[in-house]
Amino acid sequence: MKSKSDHGFAALPIVSAMGLLFTITLLFLLRSSLLNRDQIAKTQLRTDYQQREETLLRALVAVLPQAAIACMKADYAESDKYSWNAIFLQAQSMASVATALPENLKAMIGLNNARNGNTADTSPELSGTLVTSLGGIVGEVTPGTTDYSAAFNDPKFAGKVPPLLTAPSQLQAADSHRPIVARTKTYATQAPGLLADFTKFPIYNYIPYPNIRFGYAAPGQPIVAKRNWWAFAVTFGTQSTGEKQAVQPLTKYYVISLYEIPSQLPIEAATFAQIGTYQNGNPWDSAGISISGGVYADQISLNNTFGSSRISGKQSITLVAPVTLNGTQVGNDFDQAGVRELLQVQANSEVLPVALSANSGRLNFQAIQRGTQFLQRTSEVPSSNAWENYSKGAERCTITVRATSMVSQVDQTPTTIRVSFITPSGTSKEVVLQRGSNWPSIIQAGGTVIPFQTELTDSNHSSLTFYPTLLDSWLQSQGGAPVSVNNSLHFRTDDSTDPSTVQPLSESPLPDNMAIIIRKGQNLTPYSSGLAIVSPLRIYVGDDLNVVPANAAPAGAALPTGTVYYPPLSIFAAELRIGTTSAIRPFDLHGQISTLTRTGSVTWRPMDIKSGSDETTHTDSITADLKPLASPADLPPVHQMNWLIVIEEIPRS
């Protein structure tokens, strides 16, 4: 007979086996849980890196232009205030990439003792953002210039970066430490993407517009521009430090580009532009006014497209009524959530024909706008300040014409002018013309060959008259270089020599101030590189201007065969008038129109052009064919500038 305890011994192996099975099952579940948690942590880490990356890059495009301007103002001298290291530190501070939530904010909301579920939110030593050049030098970049070409021959970067620029070696060396923007940085070779001959157009070539949402131009569409660029590496996280667990590092490579884009759209303004109506409220005549391409202003009110295909702004765009742009119908709600996405689906593109730069991601569009300072020049010798030379049209003029004495304070007809110009050797020379001495009037012997004379308008405005067709031969007779070099003129009065007769310059020209008249400028073909006229005074266009085409378009300019080509012309003045008499002259404009007015309360209406009698030009006498530049050969010697800052990741494969 067996005891009852024998049955217990027989069941023990089964219980042990079941316990072992449960234990193994629990271990597998624990392992699976750990793997899932690790995967979740890695996913969150990648999300955290992505957010850190986005905020850092957005901060960089905001910081770079101000640093570049500060560097130019200091004539590129070394400084910690605008070095690349300072730029990156400021961007990191703005982006707050070291921690997801600052300690003081945690304390304010009572979370200073809470467990942090953000795996990447740790100490700056572990979770810092390390920015280096491609060679690993902290706080520096690798400039996209010829002295650094070896770095871009690495298989990771070869064929994936923009065309290289060249510059004097001193500037190239400085470019790795601080951002250099200069006209001496030019294209080095006929690289892919340069559509015009780089030997003839080394500064501003014809290059593709970047693939971004901001519609100054369509992605890939050629624009006249220069692309300055710098490459750098960003590493989030680091290896283990001491006993602390490391945050998995991740390194990416980027190119930050600063596009110098000369003003080239049919209509551009760094202020509020009202497109489609005159000051009196009458609408533009759509049969007489047409716009090809895009329109840009800081703020825009648009009631008709007049054929334009793109509208871009900085702060706001108001559409008076729904319009069709590039085949897409858009209304005033184009930027609302949901509407924007629907328009993208309809257009089969993320890039819409109407866009605000503020909503366009990793970019910064900045008009280099100096207002009326654009017309001012401090001396006859160009300023040594690189920023002044770059941003002020008056400083870029090769010829200066100063009226230094007048008939009287009441009669501002000049009796003495000083003309400075460039000689063939590149030096400056000055000629003084004085009535009664070496400056005969137009009705006196020898007066018909001098390009500067005097006259009164019908409204009795004292004026200095400029004859563009006489300038070339007169300059060369005086030992000056031809108008292919001396192609930009700055006119002003100067009361420093004879204040008893010369009225001082005012912010806006007064009725009795001296004015400038342009006459007999129909044929500007001798100006092979264009003509620019800049003045803080009133300018009258006395008769037809630039109406004779050149025999052929410049070679290598990326213009189609058979293009009818006119030398580029720009006029920048405090006021522009058409005609000098009380008669209303027809006004026919071909090209672009812009304003020096900066953002403020003033409304700019592009077609509000005044006549010689100081009245608004009759609206039925205006016709305009407004179109963008089609080549760098269309760029006049003096122009306004825009900067577009974009960041792109260098592809990994």
Judge whether residue 10 has pLDDT over 80: no
Split at pLDDT 50, 70, 90, the class of 242 is very low
**Vertex 573 angle, CA 571 and 576, to 5°:** 85
d(CA 583, CA 42): 77
Query: What pTM does this model have?
Result: 0.87
Residue whose entry in the numeric block shows the structure tokens 């003084």: 432
**Residue 534 in contact with residue 397, Cβ under 8 Å?**
yes
Among 491, 578, 576, 568, CA closest to 527: 568
Residue 38 has pLDDT above 60, yes or no: no
Q: What span, in angstroms and rounded, lies between the C-alpha atoms of 646 and 57?
A: 9
Taking residue 173's Cβ as centre, other Cβ atoms within 10 Å add up to 15
As a whole number of angstroms, the distance between CA 64 and CA 82 comes to: 9
Output the pLDDT for position 528.
95
The total of other beta-carbon atoms located within 10 Å of residue 418's CB is: 18
Amino acid type, 636: P
Distance in Å from the first CA to the final CA of the chain: 82
pLDDT above 50 for 133 = yes
Alpha-carbon span 649 to 647, nearest angstrom? 7
Which parts of 230-313 fold into alpha helices (H)?
A: none
- Per-residue pLDDT tens for 500-521? 999 998 888 888 999 999 999 9
Please compute the mean of the pLDDT values over residues 391-411 and round it to a whole number.
Answer: 96
Using CA atoms of 298, 301, 306, 308 in order, give the dihedral in degrees to the nearest 10: 30
**Residue 378 — very low, low, confident or very high, per pLDDT cuts 50/70/90?**
confident
Query: Cα-atom radius of gyration of the chain, to the nearest Å?
Result: 33
Q: Per-residue pLDDT for 40 more than 70?
A: no
More confident residue, 610 or 77: 77
The SS3 of residue 180 is coil
Going from the C-alpha of 127 to that of each of 37, 96, 248, the distances in angstroms are: 20, 12, 9
Does residue 245 register a pLDDT over 60? no
Res 118: pLDDT: 53
Mean pLDDT of the chain: 87
- Residue 527's pLDDT band (cuts 50, 70, 90): very high
- Tell which wins on pLDDT, 207 or 21: 207
Judge whether 453 and 364 are in contact, CB under 8 Å.
Answer: no
Distance CA 513, CA 538 (A): 8
Calpha distance 252→146 (Å, rounded): 23
| Per-residue pLDDT at 281 exceeds 90 | no
Residue 513 confidence (pLDDT)? 94
If pLDDT is split at 50, 70 and 90, which confidence band does 423 have?
A: very high
Burial class (CB in 10 A: 0-12, 13-18, 19+), 51: middle
Residue scoring higher pLDDT (648 or 27): 648
Joined tokens for residue 651: 């592809």
Higher pLDDT among residues 311 and 3, named by residue: 311
Per-residue pLDDT at 150 exceeds 50 = yes
pLDDT reading at 28 higher than 70:
no
Q: 608 by DSSP, 3-state: which?
A: coil
Confidence of residue 34 (pLDDT cuts 50, 70, 90): low
Per residue in 316-373, pLDDT tens?
Answer: 999 988 999 888 888 888 888 888 888 888 878 878 889 888 766 678 999 999 999 9
Q: Which amino acid is at 272?
A: F
Residue 435's closest CA among 447, 419, 420?
Answer: 447
CA separation, residue 76 to residues 203, 262, 348, 455, 575 (Å) = 19, 22, 45, 46, 35
In angstroms, the CA 15 to CA 373 distance is: 94
> Cβ(76)–Cβ(171) under 8 Å?
yes
Q: In the predicted model, is pLDDT for residue 499 greater than 60?
A: yes
Average pLDDT over residues 514-529: 96
- Who has greater pLDDT, 108 or 208? 208
CB atoms within 10 A of CB 508: 11
| DSSP code per residue over 377-434 | -SSSSPPS-HHHHHH-GGGG-SEEEEEEEES-SS---EEEEEEEEE-TTS-EEEEEEE
Share of the chain above pLDDT 90, in %: 63
- Domains in the chain: boundaries: 24-101+119-262+645-649, 398-580
Task: Specify the higher pLDDT residue, 329 or 174.
Answer: 174
